[in-house]
Amino acid sequence: MSRVKIESLPTNTMCDKRIVSSLVFSFIACLGYVACDLYKLPLFTYYPAVSEFAFGFAKMTESQGPAMYWYGWLCTTTIAATIAGACASLIKLSNGMNNYLAHITWIAPWALLPLLFNSLNYYWTHA
């Protein structure tokens, strides 16, 4: 006789979608943020000294002062992760895969930490 495997929670499709999309959002956002930092992919550049914006990656200029990319990275990452999360909500994963994804999500920032640390090498070696 074959045994029927009874799936544990979540049984509700909406709950399942919510879990998958939020986990994928968080995971892709972590990857995306680090990619934006490493490959200089801000949606826009902000010049705080003169309160001006430029589209995409723009360098510091004499007249505009220092350039900030952090706000732009956050926007790029949010857009990419939202699209990924929305697409992921269409996928039905098993509970085991959901649990695997949950573990990957908390591991991601720790795994990416050396890359972030290395991206700030300028500060560590300048001292």
Partner 1 sequence: MEFIYSYISVEVFWSILLIIHGLISVALLGGLTHQTLSVLGKRRQRGETILNRFAGVQSSIYTTSVCVLWIFSFFFGGWIYSKYRVAVRIPMEQQGIWITQGLFELKEHLVSLGLFLLPAYYTLWSFDKNSEFEQAKKMLTLTLTTICWYSFLVGHIVNNVRGFGS
* 17 Cβ contact list (under 8 Å, min separation 6): 89
In 10 A of CB 39, how many CB atoms? 8
* Rounded CA separation 118/25 (Å): 25
Q: Which residues would be at the binding site for partner 1 (CB under 8 A)?
A: 8-10, 15, 18-19, 22-23, 25-27, 29-30, 33, 37, 46, 48-49, 65-66, 68, 70-71, 73-74, 77, 81, 85, 95, 98-99, 102-103, 105-106, 108-110, 112, 116-117, 120, 122-124, 126-127
CB of 56 to partner 1, least distance (A): 19
Taking the least distance from each CB to partner 1, the nearer of 54 and 109 is 109
* Rounded CA separation 97/88 (Å): 13
